[in-house]
Each structure stands twice: as structure tokens, then as C-alpha cells.
Chains A and B, each alone.
Chain A
Amino acid sequence: MIRYVISRLLLSIPTLLGVATLIFFMLNVLPGDAVETMLRAEGGNPTPELVASERARLGLDRPILVQYGDFLSGLATFDLGTSSWTGKPVVEEIALRLPVTLQVAVLAMLLALAIAIPLGTIAGVYHETWIDYAIRSFAIGGIALPSFWFGMLIALVMLWYFNWLPPLGSPSLFDDPLRLLQQLALPAIAIGYRYAAILIRMMRSSVIEVMHEDFVRTARAKGLRAGHIIRRHVIPNSLLPTITMIGLEFALLIGSLVVIEQVFSLNGIGRLFLDAVSRSDLAIIQGIVMVLTVIFVVVNLLVDFAYAAIDPRIKLA
């Protein structure tokens, strides 16, 4: 197992390097000059001399490969450059906002898992009954409703019927976890619903499939209790495809966070990203994409480890 973990960790390095390269060159081949756009956004009509001096200040006049090498060596030392808007280091800007985003994402994921695994299992076990239809309708709802709209809806409902609004400010997880939960619950529900819906459908179909496996028939022939068969035989086997989905869907979760942070006025990565785009703050954009990629790779590594922990066939392979 340890060998497996180490080898997977080492294997993720080339992945990250590839992504970094891709990000760098994609942003560099974008049409339009970033510096010019930025200066125009400030309202002026920049002279070519001003643009040139500004480019020289930012080091953008150097050959692209030199810039690339600079970018890579920066990455290795966690130096992602400075924001062209605020002038602060990118790392600092991101570190300020990352916790909120991660907290919402993790909360949404936990929420989704807590809902999806039991509901998906129940729907699969009782498939083609009214229970299954009810759970499937619930799941279809999650996929059909846009999460920003659903988020606004639940916020309005809470306000209208309970006269309750999420608290403002930025409470810390360690000092005031309850207040933090109150603040993050609604956005987590808003995006967790969609996540849960997808996982329910995955779990349901894999439970249905596993229920028809020969080894489940063997378990029944052994006279085991239905509950035991589902817990020990059906669920672990059904989790394998579902876990893969958890990793893949995490990317979409981050995507919907960009919108949901606006809805709930959270000062997170998504918001920073939108601002950076509107200000053409390339360093920030680059930094955020890099951080999100790392998160995505880490989540999928965890998924692979979970897979290996459940399935004994993996370790040998």
C-alpha cells in the first residue's frame, strides 16, 4: 500500500508539470496584449512608450522560454508572481481567500456523500418501486436546477419564513465553528444538491448492477441477512464506480463555486477569479488555475487511494 501511495504521488508530478506548461502557454497565446488591456481599463489611452515600459517592468519583454523557466522556478518556490492590480504577491491573495472556498467545497462534498450513498443504495435496492421513483425525482431536480438559482431560492425561503440570514464576516473554523457552519451551510447545500444528485444516480445504477452479480446470489444462498448482504457485499462493490465519479465531479463543484460565491457574497477564490478576469490580472488567473489544478489532482489521488483501500485487486496491479 505504501509503495502504491508513493508511486502515485511521484506519478502526479509530471501531471502537474504538464498542466503548468499548458496554463502558461495558453495564457501567452491569448490574443490582445495584457498590459495594454490593463492600462486601458484604468481609463487612459496609453502611449506605446508607456506600454513598453510597463512590459519591461513586468518582465514581459523577455523571450517566452525565459519567462517559462522563470514561471517554473517560481512555482517550485511557491512564488506565483505579483498581482498587477493590487501589487501584492499572488500567493498572498489566494491564501487569503482559499479557506472559505475549500470549506464550502468540502462541506458540500461531505453533504453530498452523506445524502447520496444511502439514498442511492435505497433506490437501487428498491428499484422500480415508489421509493426509487421518489429518490430519482429528487435527483433529477438536483441536476436540472441551476445551483445559483437554487441558492437564491433557499436563501429567500430562510429569510421569508424564518427571518434568518447567514452571518456576515469571516469566522474561523477553530474559534467559532458554529458561526462558520451557519455561514457556509446554504452555499454548501446549493452546490451539494447537484453533486449529490449525480452521485445518487451513479450509486443507484451500480447497486442495481451489483445486486445481479453472482456473488450476491452466493451471499443469499448462504442465508445471510438482507441488511448484511447490502452492507458487506453490495455497498463496497457499488462504491468503486461511485468513488471515481466523486473525483471527476469535484471539478464541476469548483466551477459552480465561482457563481455561488457571488450569490452568497463570500470572499473566496471564485470571486477573486472573476475580479481578476475583469481586470486582466494574468498572474492571479494563472495562480488560481494552478491552485485549482493541484486541488483537483490531490482529490483524484485521494480517490485512487480510497479505491486501493477498498479493492484488494489494485495493490498487485
Chain B
Amino acid sequence: MQALWTTAETATRDSIAKFPAESRKSARVSDVMVSAAKAVLADDSGTAPAAVAPLLSVRDLHVQFVSQDALLNAVRGISYDVHAGEVVALVGESGCGKSVSSLAVMRLLPGDGATRFTGAAELNGKDYFALPEEAMRRLRGRDIAMIFQEPMTSLNPLLTIGRQIIEPMLEHLDMTMKDAERRAVELLTKVGVTDPERRMHQYPHEFSGGMRQRAMIAIALACNPKVIIADEPTTALDVTIQAQILELLRGLVDELGVGLVLITHNLGLVARYADRVHVMYAGRIVESGSSAQVLEQPRHRYTIGLLGAVPHLDQPRQERLKNIPGQPPSLRCLPSGCAFRLRCEAATKVCAASPGRAGDGGHSFACFHPGDLRRPIDNPTGTETRGGKADTGIALRVRGLSKDFHLGKGATVRALQAIDFDVPEGGTLGLVGESGCGKTTVARTLLRLEEATAGSADYLGHDMLSATKAEVTQLRQQVQVVYQDPHTSLNPRHRIGHALAEPLLVHGLCKSKAEAAGRVEELLGLVGLPADMATRYPHQMSGGQRQRVGIARALGMNPKFIILDEPVSALDVSIQAQVMNLLADLQSQLGLSYLLIAHDLAVIRHISDRVAVMYLGRIVETGTASELFEAPRHPYTQALLASVPALADVGRARRQGIAVKGELPSPLDPPSGCVFRTRCPLASAECARVVPAPVAFSETHHVACIKV
């Protein structure tokens, strides 16, 4: 039977190779393949094959890393199936084993004895874990393909895009160079790369991130694989590009009938694009089911906690995020029984005895104390931190802030073009936009790390932009900053206590080291860290703890104003919720004003009173959080909001079209008139002529668009 199956497959492949264009036009390739395979199966066994035999079936997969002193159990017995035309999501926080398990399924883990994996994986009923490496190599790229997280580093910089797409075809399909080139052009067209004949001969550095990921998808599709594993395919991309890429993948799955394994930490993506979900925690699948079942009626305590920790676009900021206390367990010392029990409020003795067995079938969960069926995210139990802050004074008033970068040869990037915004006193202004919109430049000019080209920034009567050096030193005490990457913004050679005490001593806030040590202890307490953390080095802490240290360091100066530059974007969902709650608590305790810079709209929504949306160096819309999120006016804001996959999308008609087409224009050569017009659905000839002035819809709500 195996031989017959292979024959059928070869026959189909030959027909693809010979008539690439026709076969895809006339019938969906994989349908041809699947039906051919099914026909052979039926002939052979004399009975019709089971209604739905999975394309990929993973059984009891274990992965262990052997290190000098320990055996790390990264994956501890996971099983899942992927059917034709289905998107199966593996969801979990970092370190839960989702990426490692996918590398194991591809058999791409290094085979040098430092990694061991056991279990079974079947592709079309054929166990390929037992195959020798050479036979496995022939399967890889041909029957099972993979899309990686980092499109920037996953393509060879020295080979053309076309060459990299052609490689697997020449290897697996026995195609001539000419046919392969023709197919590469078709594939690039299919994945939405315009002008494919020309772009095929370009190198990866000439492609944008989104385009590179499209090229990666073309590579994965090259040999018509049955299963594609996409490992965080959009994590490195902007939200509008993320929507484009996932719409593309979902469309390809529906059209070609491939099975897609989508590995992600983003529950919103799961809601919008996945059919089935497996939630992973500490190397095990703790809950599986259809997207609707798991997201709307989660039963495992971890899933419930995770869903509660996700900030929602449709929840105003007054609600506190539910968070999961503690951190995921280290692989070195996993707790017995249910790995989640140490962070679980419902845990009892029985949880320590065994991990619980996930039942079979539709919706299963490995939990002894499952949550009830009521949807917990409908009634968040958060306490109200405080009311709206829209009517208080202004802490920072920025007017006409501009910044040009001169690149030589007369080229100038106008990174900021006459930006106005106000940060409310004791409140938060959220500055949101995609990468390259200039939001970080705002922070850098305010901190005087870059000199602004024009404009003023009035902070309590001082212009931060024209302050003298002495005044800047003064201001730097009152205005503090928390950076995105808590790992690289702490000196690895200094203990935490030293890192926190240094600015206190430099600015003369503490006279002696002993006094500073006391203050450090106080600061650590303020951000919810035990005092003994002061003796640790940064690498001995988790990401969330390091970010708390970053906040503590900012608080040390007794600032009134903190610039938060992507403060939670490097953190896992459950930790992100902890840090966001901490920021909200500190604000109400200490009366701090925040300028929050972020790309995640849900985070912005959750801790902002006012919001400013940036696009290509301009602010296109400002307003209070409720005005902006409930009644967005600018087409870009609307598109951004539509691009964000939300949990509530589950079960909704999935393909509502791509919110924004195309990519950010080059800032070297921005469009005339309205900068957004090249991607705007409402754009007309007039938009190219006029730079739109902000139109006021209310005292706080301003929209820079002539069409509203």
C-alpha cells in the first residue's frame, strides 16, 4: 500500500512539475493529490478511508535537552493532529516548549546527543520519526515545510530571493531550472509580491520585513507541502502587516487544503485564524479544543488565567487586568503533578500527585479543578483604580515638535513633522504607531538624546527642548524613562542593588551608600520585588523582574513624569499583565504622569487616558481613549484597530478583507499631502495636494483627515 501511495503521489507531482500553471488553475493541487491518495487507499483496503484521516499526527512527543548537570524536559508528551485545510494553533508563553516541539516535528533539532526526542509523528499515516535521516531530508521541504519567526535572519543574505525559492524545487521535484523559475514567479505572485520577475533577482536586504515573510511563505509552498509549520510567523512584524500575512496564510490553507500548525503566543491570532487550539504550559498540552471552545469556555485554570491577562481593545482602562501570580516554572525543577499548581489558586493536594489527564475528543483539559463554563472574561473582577482623568491639568505640552535626520547627499528624513500633544497631569498619553512612525524619536528628542529641529515641549513651565545643560540635568531627575528591553538596559556586570543605587548617589539624592541601600530596598518593595534581589545580577532574574527593576530605577529619582518606551512588549502575556497593573498602581499612588509609547493597541487602551496615533512622522488622530477606541475617525486608526486580532473575533466571519493594503512608504520619499493616502481606502486626488489640518470633533478629539 505504501508503494501505491507513493506512486500516486509521484504521478501527481509529475503533473505539477509538467503543468504547473494548468494544474493549479483547473483544480486545487492538493485536492488532486489527496483524492489520488484516497483512491489508492480505498482500492487497497477495500473500504473507504476514515472520513478524516489527519495529515499530520504527533503522538506522545517528548524532547529533552541534556546539559552537564541536568536533563531538561522541554516537551513532555504532547499529541495533536492536523487535518487538511485546518489551522491548528499551539499557544503558550515563552519556554512552554511550543517552538521546540515544532522543531522536533520537523526533526530539525541538533542530533549531537545534547537533544533527545521520543514519540511518534505520522505524515499521511506514515511514521517518519523512524525514517533514517536521508529519507527524512527528502520529506522536509517537500511534504512538510516550515516558516520561521525572524524573516530578517531566516533568509540567506548572499543569495537572491528567487534562488532561495528555487532551491527546494530543484532538490525535490526534479524540475528544470526554467520550470522552477517560472514556478517561483507564480509563487511570488500568489503570496502577494508585486513585480515578481524583477524582485526574484533581488536580495533579502532589498525586501521589507513583510515582503521577506511573504518570500518565506513562497519557499514553504514551493513543493506543495501537505503540512506547513509556522513558528510565530508575524511576531517580528507590524500589526497591519501581521494581518496581511495571516490573511494570506489562512487563504492558502483554504485554497490549497494544506494543514497549518500555527505556533504563537498571541491569543487574538488564535481567535481570528485558528480552527483548533492546543494550550501549552511547561512542556505539556493543558487544554485543547476548537478555538471557540477554548477561548470562550476555557476550563483549565491556566487557560482561564491567560485569557484574563490579555488586555482587551474593548475594555476601558478602569479595569485592572487579572494576572497570574508568579512565573512559569524553570525546566530545571518542574513541580510534580500539574506544573501550573504553584500559580493556581484552585490547586489542592491531588494536583501534586499527577498532571491530570486530558480527555480525548473535542474539548479536553488536564485539570482537576476546571473552571466553570461561564465565560470568565465577561466579568472581570478587577477593582476600579480610579475615574477618568481627562479634566486635570497638563503635565507636558508639546507643540510643533519636528526632527529631521540628514543622511548626507542632500537626503533628509523628516522623522517628526510638527507634532502636537498633551500629556495629562497624573494621567497617561498613549503614543501608538507602527515601526518607523517616529514614536521612539519623540522620546529621544524629549530626553534630549537627539536635538529637535523645531518645536517646544513645555514641562511645568520649562521648555525641555531649549533647556541648558544644567537645566537638563535637573529635568532628568524629574523626567525618567523605562526602556523596552530590560535585559540590555541593565549592565550585566553590576548587581541590581548597584544599578539602583548608582543614580541615587550620582544625583546626590542619597548621601551615603548605607542610605542608598535603604532606599534601594524601599524601591524594590515599591515594584513588588523582595529586598534580596539587590544582590542578584541581571541574568539571574526573569524578564518581568528585570522590567520591574527598570521601573524601580526610574522611580528612584522621585520623578513626576515617566516616559515608558514599549515597557511590556518584550514580556509574556501573564507577566505583561503584572507589569501593567504595577504601572497603574504606581501612577495612582505617586501621582505620576506617563508618556506611554507602544505598538500594541490593547496595551495602550488599557493604561492610557488620552491617545495619539502616529503615522510616518505625523499625528493623524488624538483623543481620549474612549473617543479614539470607540469612535475612531481617521481611516488609519480604523485600519489599525481592525488589524488587531481580538479574542472576541472567535466564530466571527473570518475573512473580512485586509484592513490596510501595502506597506509603509519610505520616509526618505514620503507621499505628498496626506502621508497615509497611498494606503488609504478613501484617498482621492485632493489628498495628494493638501496636508490635512486637524479637525476638532470635541475638545480632545482631533483628526487630521479631509475626508471625515
Contacts and interface: CB of A to CB of B under 8 A. Distances in A.
Contacts of B168: 222-224
Given A214-B148, A215-B155, A310-B158, A223 B108 contact: no
Given A217-B108, A218-B219, A313-B203, A223 B138 contact: yes
Contacts of B112: 128
Interface string A189-228: 0000000000000000000000001110111111111001
Chain A binding site: helix, strand, loop or mixed by DSSP?
helix
Given A214-B150, A228-B171, A312-B205, A221 B156 contact: no
Interface in B130-177: 137-142, 145-146, 148, 150, 153-159, 167-168, 171-172
Interface residues of B, number: 29
B141 A214 contact: no
A221 B167 contact: no
A225 B140 CA distance: 11
Nearest to B172: A223
A222 B167 contact: yes
Given A221-B146, A223-B171, A313 B137 contact: no
Interface string A228-271: 10001100110000000000000000000000000000000000
Contacts of A225: 137, 171
B158 A312 contact: yes
B156 A219 contact: yes
B106 interface: yes
Given A214-B154, A215-B153, A312-B203, A224 B141 contact: yes
Nearest to A240: B158
Contact of A233 (B137, B139, B156): B156
A214 B153 CA distance: 6
Contacts of A217: 108, 148, 154
Contact of B158 (A220, A222, A236): A236
Nearest to B160: A312
Contacts of B153: 213-215
Contact of A222 (B141, B157, B205): B141
Contacts of B154: 214-215, 217-218
- Which size class do A's interface residues fall under? 20 to 34
Given A220-B108, A220-B140, A221-B106, A232 B157 contact: no
Nearest to A217: B108
Contacts of A215: 153-157
Contacts of A224: 137, 141, 167-168, 171
A133 to B, nearest CB: 15
Given A214-B150, A310-B158, A311-B158, A222 B203 contact: no
A221 B158 contact: no
Contacts of A233: 156, 159
Contacts of A222: 140-141, 145, 167-168, 171, 219, 222
B590 to A, nearest CB: 43
Contacts of B155: 215, 218
Nearest to A129: B112
A294 B219 CA distance: 47
Nearest to A215: B156
Interface string B64-91: 0000000000000000000000000000
The 8 A-B pairs of least Cβ separation, nearest first, read A223-B141, A223-B140, A222-B141, A214-B153, A222-B168, A221-B146, A312-B203, A215-B156
30 contacts: A213-B153, A214-B148, A214-B153, A214-B154, A215-B156, A218-B216, A218-B219, A219-B156, A220-B140, A221-B106, A221-B141, A221-B145, A222-B167, A222-B168, A222-B219, A223-B137, A223-B141, A223-B142, A223-B171, A223-B172, A224-B167, A224-B171, A225-B137, A225-B171, A232-B159, A232-B167, A233-B159, A311-B158, A312-B158, A313-B203
Given A221-B140, A222-B168, A228-B171, 12 more contacts: A215-B154, A218-B146, A218-B156, A218-B219, A220-B108, A223-B138, A223-B168, A223-B171, A228-B167, A311-B158, A312-B158, A312-B205
